[in-house]
């Protein structure tokens, strides 16, 4: 019997996966760094890294730029351990898709479609499906590129243990039939495993999701408002899941319905103490997603919000900081918004003044049904509308202070198209001498098949961040009068921004939406942890002959 089988499919007697068909993840590290600044032990990779930035002072409208160097030590635990994932919304389109996808990859499945045979893969995952430049070949001077997944010891999705909650009681086989995402031939190959998985009861506060979801809510914990009992119930579910599967760590991720925005109220959810008191008193303005986040924080389990609502109210962020627990969000960035952040970055950096963006979407899955309610649509509208702000504000040549392109987002529920979302965008820009350019993009995408790999990316990077610590370098330690303690990264994991529409960042730091900068940040953090310089594109080795 496969060593992973019981991790995802429940009771051992229901399993039909055999040892010779299960695909194990590779464990060996692809490369090592030969440098006095990098040390390998059986337990850790320790690097000394010089972070180079430019400090700017403004005097009388002129800038004085000063190069600045800061020394850091990074330590990365090499042993990944056994990782579990608990999805809120396990029985939804994304939950069933990612579970079936991991099963298919784990068993190396191939299935027939009307276009011919298809094989399991992790396409669409930046961690599993893309490469990064390691350096140049010493003999041929050619670039050496390696899988991004191999930059540091990382969990492999084939090894993940999947569980979670859902307001619907359907087992995952029935839920996958309802979702209408997977090929029937693939569903048949994994049906028995999916049928053995039934979501845990979830919390359900009708005021926060569309009324049209009520018919699905037959698997709920008693109570329609926040309570300390709900927090403790979720905490127990996490502990039981971890113990049952002998896990080293758990990641919790919200992939359930979009909620309406919660009002941020003084004395209610503005501080950690007020938030906990409001949960205990059952205040009506505490969202289910915030209750899940608080339970995860108190269990010191990373929590990632994949929907656009404001789960992370100020009190929630403060609690995570106090407990040194990781949060990441908001809203998966899969199709239209990812294209928008890339195209707008290109246009503005090319010196073209974008003056309006009109985005129209229609989709027919349950996400679209829930978003047909105005309060829930407003959450999505906010997350999709702010993705260009930092790029616009950075260009003071094209835009005056406070000036922005007109930006309109429309989402309509069209049941007939199912999970095949249609997205149409018109970009209108001003060019040389008062001329204009219009770019029109039509994007047809299978929504859940784009979102599922992002969930994998978020899980893998969040897990990695639990194994990385840092401290000030020697000079900084001496100036501080001591060695310096090893610390984790900030509780808000902005390094996850590449996968999210509305990145949550630590207070006082800039929000970066540029897709290229987000990916560069993630890659260069990994490079720093193995003592390699941030990757640039100067290519002097090819230019200074």
Bridge partner residues of 362 (DSSP): 412, 422
Q: What is the largest CA-CA distance in the chain?
A: 76
Structural domain boundaries enclosing 494: 38-77+467-540
For position 483, what pLDDT does the model report? Answer: 63
129: left (phi over 0), alpha (psi -120 to 50) or beta: alpha
Report whether pLDDT(358) > 50: yes
Q: Which has the minimum average pLDDT: 233-237, 366-370, 484-488?
A: 366-370
- Judge whether 514 lies within some domain: yes
Tally of structural domains, the chain: 2
pLDDT digits 0-9 by tens, 439-496: 999 988 888 999 999 999 999 999 999 999 999 976 656 555 556 799 999 999 999 9
Report whether pLDDT(13) > 70: no
331 is catalytic: yes
* pLDDT bracket for residue 541 (50, 70, 90): confident
Q: What is the C-alpha to C-alpha distance for residues 27 and 159, in angstroms, rounded to an integer?
A: 11
Q: What is the C-alpha to C-alpha distance for residues 159 and 5, in angstroms, rounded to an integer?
A: 10
DSSP state for residue 332 in the 8-state scheme: B
Residue corresponding to tokens 């090929």 = 183
- Judge whether 3 lies within some domain: no
- Judge whether 11 lies within some domain: no
Q: Which has the minimum average pLDDT: 7-11, 224-228, 324-328?
A: 7-11
Instruction: Among 398, 416, 446, give the residue marking a domain's end.
Output: 446
For 86, counting Cβ atoms within 10 Å of its Cβ (0-12 exposed, 13-18 middle, 19+ buried), the class is buried
CA distances, 314 to each of 264, 271, 507 (Å): 8, 6, 10
Check 225, 340, 353, 501 and give the catalytic one.
501
pLDDT digits 0-9 by tens, 159-198: 999 999 999 999 999 999 999 999 999 999 999 999 999 9
For position 351, what pLDDT does the model report? Answer: 96
Instruction: Among 383, 415, 446, give the residue marking a domain's end.
Output: 446
For position 115, what pLDDT does the model report? Answer: 93
Report whether pLDDT(364) > 80: no
- Judge whether 427 lies within some domain: yes
Instruction: At 496, list the tokens.
Output: 């996850």
- Cα-Cα-Cα-Cα torsion 395, 396, 399, 405, nearest 10 degrees, comes to 30
* pLDDT bracket for residue 409 (50, 70, 90): confident
pLDDT digits 0-9 by tens, 16-60: 333 333 444 445 689 999 999 999 999 999 999 999 999 999 999
Q: Is the same domain home to 472 and 534? A: yes
For position 385, what pLDDT does the model report? Answer: 67
* pLDDT bracket for residue 89 (50, 70, 90): very high
Check 198, 338, 380, 384 and give the catalytic one.
380
pLDDT digits 0-9 by tens, 214-224: 889 999 999 99
Query: Which secondary-structure segment (H or E) carries 69?
Result: strand 62-77
Global confidence as pTM: 0.90
Q: Is the same domain home to 479 and 441? A: no
Q: Is the same domain home to 413 and 513? A: no
Q: Is the same domain home to 442 and 345? A: yes
Q: Is the same domain home to 343 and 424? A: yes
pLDDT cut 90: percent of the chain above it: 70
Q: What is the CATH number of the domain that holds 510?
A: 3.30.2360.10
For position 317, what pLDDT does the model report? Answer: 97
Q: Is the same domain home to 471 and 430? A: no
pLDDT digits 0-9 by tens, 252-267: 999 998 899 999 999 9
Q: Are 329 and 500 in contact (CB under 8 A)?
A: yes
Q: Are 459 and 499 in contact (CB under 8 A)?
A: no
Q: What is the CATH number of the domain that holds 358?
A: 3.30.360.10
The more confident residue out of 542 and 253 is 253
The more confident residue out of 180 and 411 is 180
For position 386, what pLDDT does the model report? Answer: 75
Q: Is the same domain home to 381 and 436? A: yes
- Judge whether 397 lies within some domain: yes
Helix segments in 218-287, DSSP class H: 228-244, 272-281
Mean pLDDT of 359-385: 70
Q: Is the same domain home to 374 and 428? A: yes
- Judge whether 494 lies within some domain: yes
Q: Is the same domain home to 427 and 371? A: yes
Cis, bond preceding 371 (omega within 30 deg of 0): no
Instruction: At 360, list the tokens.
Output: 């129209």
- Judge whether 520 lies within some domain: yes
What is the separation of C-alpha 333 from the centre of its chain, rounded to a whole number of angstroms? 8
Q: Is the same domain home to 358 and 405? A: yes
Query: Which secondary-structure segment (H or E) carries 103?
Result: helix 93-106
Q: Is the same domain home to 413 and 471? A: no
Check 369, 421, 447, 457 and give the catalytic one.
421
Nearest to 125, CA basis, from 446, 459, 365 = 459
For position 484, what pLDDT does the model report? Answer: 78
Average pLDDT of every residue of the chain:
89
Check 237, 330, 331, 367 and give the catalytic one.
331
- Judge whether 172 lies within some domain: no
Q: Are 179 and 114 in contact (CB under 8 A)?
A: no
Within 137-229, strands assigned E span: 143-147, 161-166, 200-201
Q: Is the same domain home to 411 and 476? A: no
Q: What is the C-alpha to C-alpha distance for residues 165 and 95, in angstroms, rounded to an integer?
A: 10
* pLDDT bracket for residue 5 (50, 70, 90): very low
CA distances, 483 to each of 37, 43, 48, 74, 251 (Å): 17, 21, 14, 14, 32
421 is catalytic: yes
Strand ranges of the sheet holding 406-413, from the earlier edge strand across to the other edge: 406-413, 353-363, 420-430, 436-446
């Amino acid at each position: 019997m496969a060593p992973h089988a019981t991790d995802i499919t429940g009771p051992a007697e229901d399993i039909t996966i055999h040892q010779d068909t299960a695909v194990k993840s590779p464990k060996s590290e692809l490369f090592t760094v030969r440098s006095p600044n990098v040390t390998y032990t059986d337990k850790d990779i320790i690097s000394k890294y010089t972070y180079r930035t430019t400090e700017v002072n403004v005097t009388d409208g002129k800038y004085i730029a000063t190069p600045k160097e800061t020394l850091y030590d990074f330590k990365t635990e090499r042993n990944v351990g056994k990782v579990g994932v608990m999805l809120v919304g396990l029985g939804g389109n994304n939950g069933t898709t990612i579970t079936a996808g991991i099963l298919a990859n784990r068993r190396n499945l191939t299935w027939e479609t009307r276009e011919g045979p298809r094989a399991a893969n992790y396409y669409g995952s930046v961690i599993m499906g893309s490469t990064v430049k390691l350096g140049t070949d010493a003999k041929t001077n050619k670039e050496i590129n390696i899988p991004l997944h191999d930059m540091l010891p990382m969990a492999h999705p084939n090894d993940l243990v999947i569980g979670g909650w859902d307001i619907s009681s359907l087992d995952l086989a029935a839920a996958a039939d309802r979702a209408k995402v997977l090929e029937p031939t693939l569903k048949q190959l994994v049906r028995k495993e999916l049928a053995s998985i039934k979501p845990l009861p979830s919390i359900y506060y009708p005021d926060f999701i569309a009324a049209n979801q009520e018919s699905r809510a037959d698997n709920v914990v008693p109570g329609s408002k926040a309570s300390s009992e709900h927090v403790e119930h979720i905490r127990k579910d996490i502990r039981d899941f971890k113990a049952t599967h002998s896990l080293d760590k758990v990641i919790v991720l919200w992939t359930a319905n979009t909620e309406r925005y919660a009002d941020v109220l003084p004395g209610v959810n503005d501080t950690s103490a007020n938030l906990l008191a409001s949960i205990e008193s059952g205040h009506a303005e505490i969202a289910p997603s915030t209750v899940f986040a608080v339970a995860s924080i108190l269990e010191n389990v990373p929590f990632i919000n994949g929907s656009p609502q404001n789960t992370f109210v100020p009190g929630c962020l403060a609690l995570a900081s106090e407990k040194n627990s990781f949060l990441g969000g908001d809203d998966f960035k899969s199709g239209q918004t990812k294209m928008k952040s890339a195209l707008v970055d290109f246009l503005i950096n090319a010196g073209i003044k974008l003056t309006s963006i009109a985005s129209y979407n229609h989709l027919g899955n349950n996400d679209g049904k829930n978003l047909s309610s105005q309060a829930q649509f407003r959450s999505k509208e906010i997350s999709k509308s702010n993705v260009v702000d930092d790029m616009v504000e950075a260009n003071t040549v094209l835009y005056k202070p406070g000036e922005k392109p007109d930006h309109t987002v429309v989402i309509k529920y069209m049941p007939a198209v199912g999970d095949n979302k249609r997205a149409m965008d018109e970009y209108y820009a001003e060019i040389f001498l008062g001329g204009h350019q219009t770019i029109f993009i039509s994007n047809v995408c299978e929504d859940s098949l784009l979102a599922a790999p992002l969930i994998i990316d978020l899980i893998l990077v969040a897990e990695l961040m639990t194994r990385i610590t840092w401290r000030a370098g020697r000079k900084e330690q001496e100036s501080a009068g001591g060695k310096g303690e090893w610390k984790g990264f900030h509780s808000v994991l902005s390094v996850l921004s590449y996968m999210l529409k509305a990145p949550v960042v630590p207070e006082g730091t800039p929000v970066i939406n540029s897709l290229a900068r987000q990916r560069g940040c993630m890659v260069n953090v990994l490079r720093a942890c193995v003592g390699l310089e941030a990757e640039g594109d100067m290519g002097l080795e090819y230019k200074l002959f």
